[in-house]
């Protein structure tokens, strides 16, 4: 068992009755894939504050940190590194602004029956159904590279 270096990240997924808002990552980690909005939690900020900040930076939507509800927590590890990514996943239906393309992300609304899983991280098709049912979840995925999941655990939880 490796000694992992834990790094905190956030993801914000915004959905309405029929659609989910995703961003196409134009550069950096996860480039070329559709994902929620998020990034690193910086020193001195809470996960909710980081999530609200990244949502604004990546697609110009604004929300108060307290409006972000925790819906999931995922851990990602990799064969090739000692990094453990601890990703806290939030959602909100209280925000202002229009999803706007930035240097980082191109936002687009996808109908729930047409989520582009083949152009997303491979874990997503496993936990999105739980998220879209309105349930909370915890999971861990061990990757080989960025495309192969060697092992995984995923469970629904009552509360965080």
Ligand X SMILES: Cc1cc(-c2ccco2)c2oc(N)nc2c1
Site residues (CB under 6 A) for ligand X, limited to 92-121:
121
Q: Counting contacts by CB under 6 A, is residue 91 touching ligand X?
A: no
Binding ligand X (rule: CB under 6 A), the pick from 51, 91, 123, 131 is: 123
Residue nearest to ligand X (CB): 121
Q: How many residues make contact with ligand X (CB under 6 A)?
A: 13
CB count in 10 Å sphere of residue 24: 18
Q: Counting contacts by CB under 6 A, is residue 87 touching ligand X?
A: yes
Binding ligand X (rule: CB under 6 A), the pick from 124, 130, 131, 137 is: 124
Provide the Cα torsion 38, 127, 123, 84; round to 10°.
Answer: 60
Q: Which residues contact 155 (CB under 8 A, 6 or more apart)?
A: 137, 138, 139
Q: Counting contacts by CB under 6 A, is residue 24 touching ligand X?
A: no
Q: Which long-range contacts (CB under 8 A, 24 or more apart) does 46-51 make?
A: 47/8, 47/10, 47/88, 47/90, 48/90, 50/8, 50/10, 51/10, 51/11, 51/12, 51/88, 51/90
Show the site string, 39-78: x = touches ligand X by CB under 6 A, - = not.
Answer: -------------------------------------x--
Q: Which is nearer to ligand X, 11 or 59 (CB)?
A: 11
């Amino acid at each position: 068992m490796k000694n992992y270096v834990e790094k905190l990240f956030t993801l914000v997924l915004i959905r309405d009755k029929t659609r989910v808002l995703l961003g196409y990552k134009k550069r950096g980690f996860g480039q070329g894939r559709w994902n929620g909005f998020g990034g690193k939690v910086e020193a001195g900020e809470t996960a909710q504050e980081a999530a609200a900040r990244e949502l604004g930076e990546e697609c110009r939507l604004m929300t108060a940190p307290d409006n972000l509800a925790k819906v999931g927590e995922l851990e990602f590890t990799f064969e090739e590194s000692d990094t453990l990514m601890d990703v806290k996943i939030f959602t909100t239906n209280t925000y202002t602004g229009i999803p706007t393309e930035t240097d980082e992300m191109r936002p687009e609304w996808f109908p729930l029956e047409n989520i582009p899983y083949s152009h997303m991280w491979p874990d997503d098709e496993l936990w999105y159904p739980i998220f879209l049912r309105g349930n909370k979840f915890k999971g861990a995925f061990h990757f080989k590279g960025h495309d192969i999941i060697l092992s995984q655990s995923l469970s629904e939880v009552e509360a965080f």
